[in-house]
Amino acid sequence: MEAKRQDLNVFGMTCAACSTRVEKSLKRAVGVERASVNLVTESAVVYYDPEQIGTEQLIDIVKHAGYEAAEKMSKEEKDAVLEKKFRREVRQFALSAVLAFPLLLTMVTHIPYLHHTSFAMGVDSLISPTVQLILATVIQFYIGWRFYVGAYKSLRGKSANMDVLVALGTSAAYFYSLAEYVRQMLNPNIEAHYYFETSAILITLILLGKLLESYATSKTTQSIAGLLKLQSKEAVVLRENKEWKVPVDELAVGDVILVRPGEKVPIDAVVLTGETSVDESMISGEPVPVEKKVGDAVIGSTVNFDGTFQAKVTKRMDDTVLSTIIRLVEEAQGVKAPIQRLADRISGIFVPIVLGIALVTFVVWMIATGGVLDQSLQVAIAVLVIACPCALGLATPTAIMSGTGKAAESGILFKGGEHLERTAKVDTVIFDKTGTLTEGKLRVTNMLDSHVDFKRFAGAMEARSEHPIAKAVLAYLGDIEEARAEKIRAKAGHGMVGILNDASVSLGSYRFIAQSVAIQQDVVDTMQKWMEAGQTIVAMSIDGVFAGAFGLLDTPRKEAKEAILRLHELGVKTAIASGDQSVVVENIATELGIDEVYAEQLPNDKSDLVADLQKKGRVVAFVGDGINDAPALATADTGISIGTGTDIAIETGDVTLVGHQLTLVPQTIQLSRATMRNIRQNFFWALAYNCAGIPIAALGLLAPWVAGLAMAGSSVSVVVNALRLKRLKLK
């Protein structure tokens, strides 16, 4: 049975160790084939066998791991939950800051040379040990209770996360101070050392860091929010000759809608009456309005310019072009890139290692200081706090979300983080010719007719094909008498064969026809001149005799040469693979500056070509229309499908380009490389921070509150670095 997909919202994760634990718990369950948990989006994607396990059981697994889970909520529902959570955290931080401020003043009493100043003595008299205890207790067990809960759930699940580090560190400072307080109460003559401010300020700074982190990571999801804002909310539907305004979600396939000038087209539909022009730039990237008449498709959320029209709804809201784009972006942001596995492995063992380092540090300092407990404890606490792996866990998902979000805004849809990572390594791009590098708007410029039935049979054959060549031939022939057709079938990459009016007819490429029939030399010379002029030849034979040919001309897309130039600037080799004649393909390659030419390629030849180049160590991207080129798109390291807006949902590549701007191809590679570079930067700084911070803290050179501030700052810096991708200038 095919695996079923279930999207879940997961709440309560605080670091990479949390998301790793949830993911491992899900993967261990019987019936789960694979699972991916995203810390930033607080979501999980699970593929499972519904005969062995169900959604409720998946939710129970997450809850047993210590977190809250629910079936995927709508954007509005999730926003409401997150908004409520954010407001609660703001209130808790504000309360913690107010309570911690007096304790912050007591830190002056620990600074050498200031201990006996009048200010320090004034603080000591105003903020007595009893006041410190009360303030610290509220912060530790009311505001900081979440860390104990999180630590308990983590340890119960036989792992350790950030909450364990925070709970241990702050508890050590608090309970040591509490012991000192009790000791002084029993014997007022002894000098006690209080560190209530250490635990209180640590908790306050960690809450501040999480708030800043939440705010920054929310920016990485703005691309989806922006797409959602494009969706229409209401539509005017015609029922019983009356106009009714209804929510778009209530429209059904077959409903007739009315769209006036200046309004958004509410949903994907086909025009029934009226003519207009529509701004489709949000889909195609083309700024010029597209003329629409009866029978033309219109795309939901595009803007109607100057005409009123009625249209019949063709898709449900969940299946529209824009909904498909949003779904692809969400999936791309939810699926991990392979590089994320490295961070997950490190995070999985990092916290236990840190606990060990902190313990060793404590023991060493106790020995070195001759048993000075408070100093040894302070150093161990600093190690625990500085080593939190939050930044490491955020390094990849924040960059992936920013990168795929920027891509979506530019009309580039990655179908997963792994495709984004692989595209960054591409060194060769192969283009299909017709409809990809060229306009795909072929027109017949020459014709040879040496048989009385040539035109009639050509029209009958081409009427059964959807190929651009067939449309061009039919447009050229116009209205002709139909022939009686039998047993017509396509020969992939060659043409068509069939029986028409009891005659055996073959129609296809010059090479296909020339292999089976003799062609006079003067006709060969004529067609050779056509090919040298860049024309594509379509020839016909009737009962084994050459019957005629068409010469069709297709021009390169206006931005094709610029796209090839930009690929070369990125150090990428370019190639063209086409089923057309060698002369035609070579002419276009020369005109555009393409490096390698592969002509007269059948669909399977193209996939074999990709495989051969891969065997030579090249990383290949194939650019095609996603239908005829499906084998090559599937074989390539990255299959890049050219989208046309209305058929975007059926594109088969790893990357879909919305619209038909070839300059998006180099931009795809540029953005992939920039995103991977950003991830490597995040990894470096996150690891460098921990590698440098732990020894510094272990040497006693960092106060615990400074370590807490540095830990919060490292997480925010990683997110801010990822957000730089939103400002990337694509060439």
Residues 549-559: pLDDT tens digits?
999 888 888 88
On the CB side of 5, CA atoms within 13 Å amount to 8
The pLDDT of residue 645: 44
Please count the helices (runs of H) and the strands (runs of E) in the chain.
Answer: 25, 26
The pLDDT of residue 650: 44
Place of tokens 């959604």: 55
The structural domains of the chain, ordered by start, are: 4-73 (3.30.70.100), 439-555 (3.40.1110.10)
The pLDDT of residue 586: 86
Nearest residue to 423 via CA among 684, 588, 655: 655
The pLDDT of residue 228: 60
Q: Compute and round to an integer the Cα radius of gyration of the chain.
A: 34
The pLDDT of residue 158: 72
Nearest residue to 180 via CA among 166, 190, 167: 190
Distances (CA, A) of 602 to 123, 493, 582, 622: 85, 5, 13, 15
The pLDDT of residue 192: 75
Low-confidence ranges of the chain (pLDDT < 70): 1-2, 15-16, 75-76, 107-126, 160-161, 209, 212-231, 281-288, 322, 325-345, 347-348, 388-391, 393, 492-493, 626-628, 643-653, 705, 708-709, 711-712
Q: Tell me: the pLDDT tens digits for 186-237?
A: 888 887 777 787 788 878 877 876 776 666 556 555 555 555 666 678 888 8
Place of tokens 């109607």: 304
Nearest residue to 44 via CA among 330, 314, 274, 298: 330
Partner residues linked to 71 by β-bridges: 8
Q: Which residues have a catalytic role annotated?
A: 432
Could you list the beta-strand ranges (E) of 523-658: 535-542, 545-553, 573-577, 596-598, 620-624, 638-642, 655-657
Cα separation of 498 and 486, whole Å?
Answer: 6
- For the record, the structure tokens of 25 come out as 């718990």
